[in-house]
Structure 1
Amino acid sequence: MFALDLHTHTRFFHGFTARATPFDPVGSRLLDYCARWRGLDGVAFTNHDYYEPLPTGDTVSIPGIEVTTTRGHVLVVGPDPPRFSRPERLSPEAVVEMAHDRDCAAIIAHPYRNSTVRDVDAPFDAIEVNGKHPRTESWVRRLADEHGLPLVGGSDAHYPVEVGRAYTRVDAHELTPRAIVTAIREGRVEPRVGNRLPDRLIRGFYHRIHQQKRHLQRPDWADEGATPGVGRPPGEDD
């Protein structure tokens, strides 16, 4: 059993679309240090619309990319992700097909934040419980049940200290990209959400930011008063 963060970023700034910067190797080292501190076995570097092989230390780096589709974000994780993608040019269906052609898993990222990918009828491999808004986990679980898909966890870390606040327990015989993809497709995965004080504080910060940007969404069947970030996150006792 391995503990993997399947959604991380090696820099905290945006811009420089679909290409790496000189900071990325620094960011990957910092992520590796924090991942080891959190007890993780590996991380997937899923930068926005580009993949760049980057160095790590003791943890294993799983290749990946976060593709900005015409409907929202899709994670592509596995042995051979594309090196870059043009934001908002590819449909989710096209990204899933591309991922499978490259022996990668296609994962719906943060389905209730600035995304309608959850409504797309395509053969995704999993749905993510996102570390920025883990209070939506009950919604995401229902969505996964409706689609018959497994759940994975990812921190969506842009700052190294955020890594591991949500991660995935993977039942695989070896820690390789191909073995991880197989485990995801066979449902031998489960999400875990961290509940340390820094995790809770950071979640509150992101909730306010995304609420101001009007990026937060809720399913039609949810209570009118229900919004992401309201109520206790998974694992918190009364």
Structure 2
Amino acid sequence: MHIKTLDERVVSRAKARGLDVLVYAPHFTRLPEIRRQAEQYSDDELLVIPARELFTGNWQNRRHLLAVGLSNPVPDFISFEGALAETEAQGAAVCVPHPAMLNVSLGRPEIRAYADHIDAIESYNAKSLPPTNRRAKRIATEAGIPMFGSSYAHLRGTVGEVWTEFDTEIDSESDLVTALVSGTDRRVVHHPGLAHRARNLIEFAHLGWENSWGKADRLFLSGMEPTHPDHIAYDGRFDDVAVY
């Protein structure tokens, strides 16, 4: 349901692990480029669906939303309410990745307040430590919102460690959006054992790099992000909800 890296090796690993669909949502990449890559790596054996993990709010108080089924690009660094309004206007499924994880996602108060706007909550993330995943499952259960699981793979080796089995065929992007929005029955599954635990720890360690040196490079060396609301590609459409 959610990976960050995509190439031939990722596709081969996904097929070897019996996956039918990958949801590809890399950070700070505009929807047209994500869609182009998704189409490039899709074939008769594996469907790659483009999505956006939106960074709402500023760096100090950011809340992530996974939007599946967007028809038009939506930038990062806009208000949470602005992002919700735009995703709903486009008919996208609104999912909550890694709830209550550090300071990068929605916690119980926000989920309770916006429950009517949320289609699914991630209850198992291969990058999260076990206590975080247990808390995520409790949050989803308390809110009465359907769950999903994902590898959240930033590293190729994590692809296929966690998956979501839907009680319906998913043959297109619209099929997945419908399954998420309608609350189709599903099951969240992950590999057991020490190898899975080791992969979990490797991904978690990568999170430390991503939020230190990786972030420093992005903030100070890269210039304006292609998903910044001031980028020319958005033509000022999000000026009223931009936080930067």
Same fold (TM over 0.5): yes
C-alpha spacing 1:207/1:47, structure 2 compared with 1 (3 Å): closer
Q: Would you say how many aligned residue pairs link Structure 1 and Structure 2?
A: 191
- The CA deviation string for residues 10-41 of structure 1, in whole angstroms up to 9 with x for no partner, is 2xxxxxxxxxxxxxxxx333221111011100
Secondary structure, counterpart of 2:168 in structure 1:
coil
Are positions 1:96 and 2:93 aligned together? no
Task: In structure 2, give the amino acid aligned to 1:144.
Answer: A
Matches within 5 A, 1:80-95: 80-83=70-73, 85-86=75-76, 89-95=77-83
User: Which of 200, 205, 208 matches 1:203?
Assistant: 200
Preserved CA contact (<8 Å) 1:134 1:193:
no
Q: Following the alignment from structure 2 to structure 1, what is the Cα–Cα distance between the partners of residues 27 and 201?
A: 23
Are positions 1:62 and 2:49 aligned together? yes
Structure 2 unaligned blocks of 5 or more = 213-244
Preserved CA contact (<8 Å) 1:8 1:155:
yes
2:144 is matched with: 148
User: What fraction of aligned residue pairs are identical, expressed as a percent?
Assistant: 26
Preserved CA contact (<8 Å) 2:94 2:118:
yes
Task: In structure 1, give the amino acid aligned to 2:120.
Answer: A
RMSD, aligned α-carbons: 2.5
1:167 is matched with: 163
Task: In structure 2, give the amino acid aligned to 1:96.
Answer: L
Q: Following the alignment from structure 1 to structure 2, what is the Cα–Cα distance between the partners of residues 173 and 205?
A: 32
Q: Following the alignment from structure 1 to structure 2, what is the Cα–Cα distance between the partners of residues 211 and 174?
A: 34
Preserved CA contact (<8 Å) 2:74 2:86:
no
Preserved CA contact (<8 Å) 1:43 1:61:
yes
Distance apart, 1:180 and its partner CA: 1.1
Runs ≥4 residues deviating over 3 A? 81-84, 206-215
1:194 is matched with: 191
Preserved CA contact (<8 Å) 1:132 1:206:
yes
- The CA deviation string for residues 150-200 of structure 1, in whole angstroms up to 9 with x for no partner, is 100111111222112111111224421112112112222332122254322
Secondary structure, counterpart of 1:133 in structure 2:
coil
Q: Following the alignment from structure 2 to structure 1, what is the Cα–Cα distance between the partners of residues 195 and 73?
A: 33
User: Which of 98, 104, 107 matches 1:115?
Assistant: 104
- The CA deviation string for residues 60-107 of structure 1, in whole angstroms up to 9 with x for no partner, is 0112011111232211112x3543523xx2233322222222221111
1:31 is matched with: 10
1:105 is matched with: 93
C-alpha spacing 1:81/1:8, structure 2 compared with 1 (3 Å): farther
Preserved CA contact (<8 Å) 2:96 2:105:
no
1:225 is matched with: none
- The CA deviation string for residues 184-234 of structure 1, in whole angstroms up to 9 with x for no partner, is 12222332122254322121234456579999xxxxxxxxxxxxxxxxxxx
Secondary structure, counterpart of 1:63 in structure 2:
strand
